[in-house]
Amino acid sequence: MSKPTSFSGVQPSGQPTLGNLIGVFQPFVAFQDSHQATFCIVDHHAITSRPNPEDLRTNTLGIFAYYLAMGLDPAKCTIFAQSHLPQHTELAWILNSFTQMGELERMTQYKDKSQRQSDNINVGLFDYPVLMAADILLHQVQHVPVGDDQLQHVELTRDIATRFNNLYGPTFTIPKAIIPQVGARVMDLQEPNRKMSKSRPGPGTILLTDAPASAAKKITRAVTDSLATIAYNPQEQPGLANLIDIFASLNNQTPQQVVQQFQGQQYGALKTATAEAVASKLEKLQTAYNSYINDKAELQNLLQKGAEKASATAEKTLQATKQKVGYVLPSSQK
Ligand code: TRP
């Protein structure tokens, strides 16, 4: 039986954190085995916050180097940059006419971002979910691995696809979101009720560029509680649960297994073990990352090959869509 197909995108913006590593990169590596997986570096999405051009270029290759450093293998999966396939923006334009203003106005990420960048509420920010729908639908995938903050966008994608299919007959595969279980949400080490975020640098956030020793220190100084009982209880013991989640996902265990392992011990034991796991992970990752990022020509070459691999399905979907909508296709594409 052939494997199910999947598509996911990551924005090339800013410094990835331990939260991204555990919640995004690690699950991706599992996906390349369980799925016919496609990963896309979504540079078109990134410009909605109008980054500095040099930063965008650096981060695009940087994210790719992190993917490779984590173990994504271009021979097993497909990795490419969104702007390398013009079909993404073309399909997004078509889908714009099958998406209602009201649907986009309801998107919570749009509302959040409009508050955060209130001086730059551009049309791209508003239209962002339609481009994301185009990303997914273009590749006809069954599964979309995403964080829970993206669920609403995948729901919208399903709505748009269903609407289009109802109007024109089967065109798009209806995709399903898949949320990684363990470590889906790594929390801030100092304020464990908030998600760890690169926009709040400091002792609560571990960046993948942190020196391993200083990352370890952030773990041993993480906020816990005074209950002094090792248990997995995200509501009442959020700081402890966060450490358990981090340890569990770095060691491929369940939170329950971690609780069992540390039962009856003091928090210090779990903190030390977690700090060591984080430091050793970062050390390996940084060594691999440096070797990839220092060969930009090879990174570009691999991205190019990824785009070529992804283009056949993308082009087929786009042509079928245009045909159904009633465009006159150039005679070479009939
Ligand atoms: N919006 C996603 C995010 O911010 C990134 C993304 C763009 C994406 N296109 C996608 C995720 C397609 C999954 C599928 O995380």
Atom of ligand 1 nearest to the CA of 42: 7
Contact 171, 320 (CB under 8 A): yes
* Residue at 6: amino acid letter: S
Pocket-testing residue among 40, 107, 150, ligand 1, by greatest number of atoms within 8 A of Cβ? 150
pLDDT in tens, the chain (334 residues): 799 999 999 999 878 999 999 988 888 999 999 999 999 999 999 999 999 999 999 999 999 999 999 999 999 999 999 999 999 999 999 999 999 999 999 999 999 999 999 999 999 999 999 999 999 999 999 999 988 889 999 999 999 999 999 999 999 999 999 987 755 689 999 999 999 988 888 999 999 999 999 999 999 999 999 999 999 999 999 999 999 999 999 999 999 999 999 999 999 999 999 999 999 999 999 999 999 999 999 999 999 999 999 999 999 999 999 999 999 998 876 5
For the stretch 268-271, contacts whose Cβ atoms lie closer than 8 Å and that sit 24 or more positions apart, written own/partner, are 268/220, 270/230, 270/240, 270/243, 270/244, 271/219, 271/220, 271/222, 271/243
Which candidate, 199, 279, 267, places its Cα nearest to that of 237? 267
What is the atom index within ligand 1 of the atom nearest the CA of 145? 13
Phi-psi region of 9 (alpha: psi -120 to 50; beta: other; left: phi over 0): beta
Picking from 206, 222, 188, 219, the residue whose alpha carbon sits closest to that of residue 286 is 206
Q: Which of 76, 195, 296, 322 is catalytic?
A: 195
Q: Is the CB of 150 under 6 A from ligand 1?
A: yes
Q: Choosing from 76, 111, 198, 296, which is the catalytic residue?
A: 198
pLDDT of residue 185: 81
The answer, yes or no, to whether any atom of ligand 1 lies below 6 A from the CB of 129, is no
pLDDT score for 276: 98
Q: Is 284 a catalytic residue?
A: no
Q: Atom 11 of ligand 1 has which residue's CA nearest to it?
A: 9
User: Pseudo-torsion of CA 291, 295, 299, 302, nearest 10°?
Assistant: -90
Which residue's CA is minimally distant from atom 8 of ligand 1?
9
CB atoms within 10 A of CB 115: 9
198 is catalytic: yes
Beta strand 78-81 with 143-145 is unpaired
Cα(214) to ligand 1 centroid in Å equals 31
Q: What is the rounded CA–CA span in Å between residue 148 and residue 150?
A: 5
Question: Can you tell me which atom of ligand 1 is nearest the CA of 129?
Answer: 1
- Index of the ligand 1 atom closest to the CA of residue 149: 15
Q: Is 60 in the pocket of ligand 1 (CB under 6 A)?
A: no
Judge if pTM exceeds 0.85: yes
Establish whether 217 is a catalytic residue: no
